Amino acid sequence: MGVEEDFPLEIDGTPVQISTHPQTPLLWILREHGYTSVRYGCGAGLCGACTVWLDGVPVHSCDTPMWSAAGRNVTTTAGLAAQGPHPVQRALIEAQAGQCGFCLAGMVMRAAALVDQSDGELPESEIATALNGHLCRCGVHRRVIAAIAEVSRVHPGQSGGQR
């Protein structure tokens, strides 16, 4: 896998320095350093469970090598809730939208980016398309989509990505 290198990055607002191989997936680093709200699902970029923000953009942390995360800001669901739950997180809790909840961290990161960047109420079809790559073995998509649509109605265009 090659020689270890040092990678500076910021995780949920905290600067960290990680020594690892350049190809090590960001997901492995996050979980090894205690960011266990980030889920390890397929490990192959197929299920969406491991989704985090990289500079505010949702990415699969399982197929994000460390070399490409270096010098950038990573946000997990914990970071998203640092100043109180994001409206998407609140809505999913209030709607009791999850069952086992394994998929939800990834869905939250995708949906929060969508809601923050929207400038009005989101049609359910647009939310469904955004969540298309997020697998849920419990089948909660209907409840999640309805809750997110309601958030976008109540909090349209939150602030273009900044809360």
Least distance in Å: CB of 39 to ligand FES?
7
List CB contacts of 110: < 8 A, sequence separation 6 or more.
Answer: 48, 51, 58, 130, 131, 134
For ligand FES, the binding residues (CB under 6 A) are: 40-43, 45-50, 60, 62, 98-103, 136-138, 140
What is the rounded distance in angstroms from the CA atom of residue 140 to the CA atom of residue 111? 14
Least distance in Å: CB of 120 to ligand FES?
28
Smaller CB separation from ligand FES, 49 or 148: 49
Smaller CB separation from ligand FES, 109 or 158: 109
What is the rounded distance in angstroms from the CA atom of residue 128 to the CA atom of residue 124? 6
Exposed (0-12), middle (13-18) or buried (19+): which is 88, by Cβ within 10 Å? buried
What is the rounded distance in angstroms from the CA atom of residue 65 to the CA atom of residue 61? 8
Smaller CB separation from ligand FES, 30 or 122: 30
Smaller CB separation from ligand FES, 78 or 135: 135
What are 159's two structure tokens?
A: 């602030």
Smaller CB separation from ligand FES, 30 or 136: 136
Least distance in Å: CB of 29 to ligand FES?
13
Nearest residue to 95 (alpha-carbon basis) of 127, 143, 54: 143
Least distance in Å: CB of 131 to ligand FES?
11
Residue that is written with structure tokens 């109180």 in the block:
84
Residue that is written with structure tokens 């896998």 in the block:
1
Least distance in Å: CB of 96 to ligand FES?
11
